[in-house]
Amino acid sequence: MKQLKSISLRNFKFFYGEEANDSNTINLEGKNLLVYGENGSGKSSVYWAFYTILQSYLKNDNSEITKYFTAETPPKPSNLKNRYASNDTKSGIDLVFIDESENEITKTVSDTEINTKGGNNEIEKIHTISDFLNYKYISKFYDFRNSQNADLFDLFEKELLMFIDFGEEVYHFQSGINQGKFANKWWEYISSEYINLPKWTSNNKKVHFLKKETKNYINQFEDFKKKLSNYLLTISESANKYLKEKFHENLTFSIELEEDYTFNHDLVEKSNQGKLDSPKINLSVEFNSDKIDDNKKNISRPHTFLNEAKLTAIFLSLRLAMLKKRPKFENFTKLLIIDDLLISLDMSNREIVLDILLDEFNDYQTLFFTHDINLFNFVKNKLKQNKVESSWKIKEMYSHHCAEDKFEKPLIIDSDYSDEEKAKKYFDKKDYTTCSLYLRKSFEKVIREKLPIETIKTADDKFITLNNLWKKFIERANLLGSPVPKSTIDHFEQSKLLILNPQAHYSELSAPVYKYELDNAFTILDKIKQIHLTFKKVILMKDCQIKFTHPKEKYWCEYRLIQDFITENNKITTYPDCKTIKWEYNGQKNTIPSSGKQFTQDQVDKFSKNKLDSFQDQLKSDTVLNVDRETFLTNTLTVDGGYTLKELLKGVKFN
């Protein structure tokens, strides 16, 4: 199957550059993509680039595509060419796909080239089996006045009919030309060709209903209604299953084509009946509670009654059900492009949607964009929990000011870069202001890691400033007999760079000085990293007893430490030796849950010692208990003090 390798935005919207380069290209290498983009970084430009190129095949006139890229002075409102790009430079969007044999196929829309239309159209097939999920679509789902019914036809017409396969072509009533088999093609034909139906006379503009062409057209009109109604009924059943089983909502919703929608037999030009009315797709909701009277269960205008979370759950259930019903094309890329879809959901519903996407739609190449750093980190952690992060590219996007060009451009970096690596990236791009921010974070991280946890926070549990960290670092180094070299101290304190020396003045920081000072800061950072300070902290003392209690199963186990549990430089270098005291499963003493094997207390007393993490591994390998490290730390308490291991190890790093 072909997979998307990269997308390049050449002089398109926020992205600059006539040729594809590392500042206007996102490389996926056939993997899924998770992107955090701060506001103004160009994240939405990428989303709309996908939208523009994948829907380009729908445009009959090429000028409807080239208008986005053509040089114009002044530019028209529809023009999306980067405003800093000169008129003699090219603009476009490139998608590069790669197959199993690593053959590349490039699809382009630009001011000079369009290869996304005609023939055995790959872009059409990719678009048909792909989907766009955007938070703006959610608002359209319930953006109605209180006095209005929730009519979804406008949403379906603009965003969804193109994905509904009727399984049967519709042919022009007069020419017999095939118009297509997807619902949008049926509706485009139905809603535009009625004006060409035969009339009674040149003076009488009423449609001639006795003509064969008119009868054929009306049959097609009725067939469209029937096919759409059947689809809505089928998809409602699947969507309500998601709503009940995944989102756990005690609701049932229906989307139905208005029953009395008929072709207007008095269709006359230049009268109130001169235009074919659009059908209505009405959304209604019903409570499933026995505690509500039957005559009160129905909600005909759910947007006036339900909260945003419930309406969003209904929308997502519908879209996921529709995605399941997409047509299948072998060997074509299925893209699922998501832009800030989950920002209106609470954490539990975010997890529900992510679980569905990762479990049921893992055959899609998913591209997930968000400007919410908390949501970004949540998704990253979810990928790690599911052990699928290796199949994802995780990137961050920022706006950076280019000193050479004197305007802002996107900066795309791998998310697993350290703060120091990010600082070097910005330094290379000559964005010295942003570089300095990441350098400061690098200094804080390096120095904090070399100090005991109790020395790096204030009484109200806030981290102390870099300048105070630096002073404590010098004091600690002197105390441990590994003083910081005087040259490094002088270098730090003489710096004119604000991130190191708060007494420096902004007026001193001209661009050449800034570059020189940042260069020096990288040198200072390297010298600090080479200074090794050792400090140890006793977490639990020898002979301390701890007890693990399973959060779901009726299982507990007690252990005794036979050596101190010590951390070094806020890291666990080795786990303490422990002995099993006793355990219990379902009321049976010293019984292994997975096998049912039971030991006497004398046998348990003779068990050999083992490392604490090895006991956790044993609990994880047991098919009944399946205890991961987080569960073990959270549910293991000291017998005397009542502290969990998670609380005692707060701030400590694990190997």
Q: Are 28 and 1 in contact (CB under 8 A)?
A: no
Q: Which residues of the chain have pLDDT under 50?
A: 268-273, 503-509
- For the chain, first and last CA: distance in Å? 38
Would you state the structure tokens that stand for residue 427, as one six-digit string?
A: 């330094």
CA 642 to chain centre: 39
| pLDDT, position 1 | 62
Residue 55 to residues 85, 150, 634, Cα–Cα distance (Å): 25, 27, 49
| pLDDT, position 606 | 92
Beta-carbon contacts of residue 643 (< 8 Å; ≥ 6 apart): 637
| pLDDT, position 511 | 52
Phi, psi of 27 (to 5 degrees): -95, 125
Q: How would DSSP label each residue in 416-454?
A: T--HHHHHHHHHHTT-HHHHHHHHHHHHHHHHHHTS-GG
| pLDDT, position 550 | 94
Task: Give the span between the Cα atoms of 151 and 637, in whole angstroms.
Answer: 56
Q: Are 70 and 64 in contact (CB under 8 A)?
A: no
Crossing angle of helices 135-142 and 308-324, rounded to 10°:
110
What global pTM score does this model have?
A: 0.68
Residue type, 339: D
Residue with tokens 């872009």: 123
| pLDDT, position 589 | 95
Task: Give the span between the Cα atoms of 3 and 575, in whole angstroms.
Answer: 44
The helix (H) or strand (E) run that includes residue 616 is: helix 612-621
Q: What is the pLDDT of residues 569-593, one digit of tens each?
A: 778 888 999 999 999 999 999 999 9
Task: Give the span between the Cα atoms of 443 and 603, in whole angstroms.
Answer: 53
